[in-house]
A and B are shown apart, each in its own frame.
Chain A
Amino acid sequence: MPFDIYNFTSFTQWIDSSLHNAMSPFWTALTEMVIIGVLVLMFYAVVGLFLVYAERKVCAFMQNRLGPNRVGPFGIFQTIADLVKLLFVELIPIKNADGFLFNLAPFIVIIAGFMAIAAIPFANGLHAIDMNIGVLYVIAVSSMGVIGVLLAGWSSNNKYSLIGAMRSGAQIISYELSVGLALITIVILAGSMQLSVIVEAQRDGWFIFKGHIPAFIAFIIFLISSTAETNRGPFDLAEAESELTAGYHTEYSGIKFAFFFLAEYMNMFIVASIAATIFLGGWMPFHVGPWVGFNHIMDFIPPFVWYIGKTFFVIFLMMWFKWTFPRLRIDQLLTLEWKYLLPINLVNVLIMAFLVLMGWHF
């Protein structure tokens, strides 16, 4: 296989075995955890900061503006400057707020995102854990963030925050369903919940092409419902600044606000990377059946680049949504889910199961 030159399996195994030789199994496990934790934390920070910058640039270009252009060339250090500013901003204590929950909320939000990264395969053999229920794990973990949002809204002792939190709860509980069903469609096609197997199954064609129309519909539904799940426009009802000033994080300042802010972008990155992994072939290069030369050229692009490229494509789509559409109202949001997305999704799953049963996919 030509792209085995980019296979990280032997590299990670070599690290593992050399650590085993050096110390006891307990310390090996601990060291590996620390290494992975530090790497993921760095990745988290870099991606979060970059996405904030990217979003500002993308929306600026859509709005005929230049966007940040003061700090560094093309303003690339703008978000770092903002972060430094946020670090120095006073943490305003809120009267009558539930202090413990108030401080806990941003951590829950950020940890939920943090945990989901563990299961995502960045390249061949480059993932923290390869669980056989990877899809389930990702769905379960990423929906934990809403607890943080609810806690933030409840403990802030602010009426706007409370409305925002309640909206967010209703929204995520319903859209969780669509996300799950859209992924189930692909799980039926792949026959596995293990993310590495799902990626491997897309070696000769991404699922969005392989699965005919049902896969495409599932992709669209996943895109819509995951946008809703990350509380981004046009589904940003939880923070809806024209109605609720800033929704659930109205009362947060300084680094705690930065946590919410980073978590929003990180959640976006995670759902985008799930979409890329499950529908667009993860780190798999783009292959067109009989064109051997073309396929060969595609193989020379490293898998990590493929993965990042696909993820950013999905993120760009989500940004495009946000900066184009007006916001929905809460009842319309639920109507969209229960009257449109869910029935379509159920029919879609049925069709997909039928296709797989008959062996009519590629």
Chain B
Amino acid sequence: MRSIIEYLKEIVFGVWSLMQGMKVTGSYFFRPSTIVTQKYPDNRKELVMYERFKGEVVMPHNEKNEHKCTGCGICELNCPNGTIEIISKTIVTEDGKKKKAIDKHIYRLGMCTFCALCVKTCPSNALAFSQGFEHAVFNRALLIKTLNKPGSQLMKGVE
């Protein structure tokens, strides 16, 4: 007799525990307000990334097309993957001195691991992270970027 009671108890407990699970899924089913997914490409405009988000490395330029990069090469040294390559040139300043300056700051997005060491160690704060996250391109060559804009110059006062 006891075994029959045990048997029935087992069934009742089993069904009860199954109902508990169904209660959870059922309650979400009838509450569409709890939906968390977003319609991504449609909501591009409202999509705001956090200010510190590490999208990709950029070199901010001001309105006079000047940047702060002196071409010292510390970012290149600190990058663990060889993502950054700096090609420098010698220019003649106004007062006739020869000076090393940046020709091209090459950044290979495909190799970047977003460790932020370049941005962190830059002595003149020339690099920053942008908010963009849509990195997909059809051609691998497009992932190799030159960060300084053509014709840009070193900002005055930055050594």
Contacts and interface: CB of A to CB of B under 8 A. Distances in A.
A325 interface: yes
Given A64-B36, A65-B35, A324-B18, 10 more contacts: A61-B28, A61-B35, A62-B26, A62-B29, A65-B37, A69-B39, A320-B26, A320-B29, A324-B25, A344-B11
Given A61-B29, A63-B28, A324 B21 contact: yes
A216 to B, nearest CB: 13
B157 interface: no
A340 B14 CA distance: 11
12 contacts: A61-B29, A62-B28, A62-B29, A65-B35, A66-B35, A66-B39, A320-B22, A320-B25, A321-B22, A323-B25, A325-B18, A340-B11
Interface of B: 11, 18, 21-22, 24-26, 28-29, 32, 34-37, 39
Interface string A55-74: 00010011111100100000
A66 B37 CA distance: 7
Nearest to A323: B25
A358 B104 CA distance: 97
B9 to A, nearest CB: 13
Contacts of B34: 64
B5 to A, nearest CB: 15
Interface string A66-97: 10010000000000000000000000000000
Interface string A195-216: 0000000000000000000000
Interface of A: 58, 61-66, 69, 320-321, 323-325, 340, 344
Contacts of B35: 61, 64-66
Contacts of B18: 324-325
B117 to A, nearest CB: 38
Contacts of B22: 320-321, 324
A56 to B, nearest CB: 13
A201 B39 CA distance: 50
Contacts of A66: 35, 37, 39
Contacts of A63: 28
A64 B29 CA distance: 8
Nearest to B18: A325
Contacts of B36: 64-65
B158 to A, nearest CB: 49
A7 B37 CA distance: 47
Of listed A63, A64, A340, residue having the most chain B CB within 10 A: A64
Contact of A62 (B11, B25, B37, B39): B25
B22 to A, nearest CB: 5
A69 B21 CA distance: 27
A213 B36 CA distance: 41
Contacts of B24: 324
A102 B18 CA distance: 38
A346 to B, nearest CB: 14
A338 to B, nearest CB: 14
Nearest to B20: A324
A344 B7 CA distance: 11
Of listed B18, B28, B29, B35, residue having the most chain A CB within 10 A: B29
Contacts of B11: 340, 344
B37 to A, nearest CB: 5
Nearest to B19: A324
A259 B26 CA distance: 30
Contacts of A340: 11
Contacts of B21: 324-325
A58 B11 CA distance: 28
Nearest to A61: B29
Nearest to B24: A324
A320 B21 CA distance: 10
A344 B24 CA distance: 28
B76 to A, nearest CB: 44
A65 B39 CA distance: 10
A351 B18 CA distance: 26
A61 B37 contact: no
